[in-house]
Amino acid sequence: MTSEFLDQDCEEILEYHGNTMIELTRKQDGETVLHDWLLFNSVEEASEYFYAHAG
């Protein structure tokens, strides 16, 4: 699943594939300025975070 958050300055993309990690990518003016993995202790914790922060 992918969720995109658009701001005037940047675009934040969360990608979640049902495990304990969420991929976070932040782009500004079409360039990637941050790429990171958010690690969680359980699938439930990761899915709760994703749905709470999904646009």
Instruction: Please write the tens of the pLDDT for every residue from 1-55.
Output: 776 666 668 888 999 999 999 999 999 988 999 999 999 999 999 999 999 988 6
- Look at residue 26 and give its three-state secondary structure: strand
Q: What are the b/e assignments for 15-53, b being 16+ CB within 10 Å?
A: ebeeeeebeebbeeeeeeeeeeeeebeeeeebbeebeee
Structure confidence at residue 1 (pLDDT): 73
